[in-house]
Amino acid sequence: MKESKHIAINEAKWDKWAGTLDEKGKRNDYLRKAQNDVIALLEMSEDIRLLDIGCGTGKALAFAAEKNNGKGEFYGADLSEKMIEKAKETFKGEENFHFIQANAESIPLPDHSFDDIICTHSFHHYLHPIKALNEMHRLLKPAGKLYLLDPTTDGIMMKVIDKIVKLTDKAHVKMYSTKEFKNMFSVAGLRYLDSKVIMGPVKVHIGRK
């Protein structure tokens, strides 16, 4: 599929989701738990600079700020204009929260500016995953850490599910195995440190610049 067409389909899908992403329910509970589990892995400091790529309405950043007694600078980037509008509305007046509409493959923020980057349930929608990982590498400070959470296709079942979802959802690009994540991290210059199962096939893959 042409890049511009994929971006349009992907953005339209998430613009539509923006209205319901924060509604109470099983999907929301699950996504928030996953974000919380990732935030629990972060080592916080008073001056932390944290970026969430594919941030949706920005909930993970709120969890991080809460864990850090409000200290730090929190940035969110998302392809969907509507998600970013919602995030800006939610965090209105909070000066240490910043939201920007951008494709994960090209984020207009300065080089080496983040201690940590998180990316939850978003990576399988990226048309050029290596470009996105290169961007994460560029944005991280030296020794900064990436926490990338996504359903991971380590078993045959998940590989089949990935193929089926791709047929039914045009915004879906691909889910990856741990081996593929390790290779992609390495191509982007990131050292693969570890992975942790969050729930079933959903894993967080941790890398360091």
Ligand X SMILES: C[S@@+](CC[C@H](N)C(=O)[O-])C[C@H]1O[C@@H](n2cnc3c(N)ncnc32)[C@H](O)[C@@H]1O
Q: Which is nearer to ligand X, 44 or 127 (CB)?
A: 127
The CB-of-164 to ligand X minimum distance in angstroms stands at 18
Which residues would be at the binding site for ligand X (CB under 6 A)?
10, 14, 31, 35, 54-56, 78-80, 83, 103-104, 120-122, 125-126
Do 146 and 173 form a contact (C-beta atoms < 8 A)? no
Residue placing its CB nearer to ligand X in the complex, 122 or 153: 122
Residue 50 CB, nearest approach to ligand X (Å): 13
Contact call for residues 139 and 107 (beta carbons, < 8 A): yes
CA–CA separation, 31 vs 84, rounded Å? 17
Nearer to ligand X, 68 or 120 (CB): 120
The least distance separating ligand X from the CB of residue 202, rounded to whole angstroms, comes to 11
DSSP secondary structure string for all residues of the chain: --HHHHHHHHHHHHHHHTTTTTSSSHHHHHHHHHHHHHHHHSPP-TT-EEEEET-TTSHHHHHHHHHTTT-SEEEEEES-HHHHHHHHHHTTT-TTEEEEE-BTTB--S-TT-EEEEEEES-GGG-SSHHHHHHHHHHHEEEEEEEEEEEEB--SHHHHHHHHHHHHH-TT----B-HHHHHHHHHHTTPEEEEEEEEETTEEEEEEE-
63 vs 185 by CB, closer to ligand X: 63
Smaller CB separation from ligand X, 103 or 143? 103
| Smallest separation, CB 171 to ligand X (Å) | 7
Tell the smallest beta-carbon distance from residue 59 to ligand X (Å).
6
- Closest separation between CB of residue 134 and ligand X, Å? 14
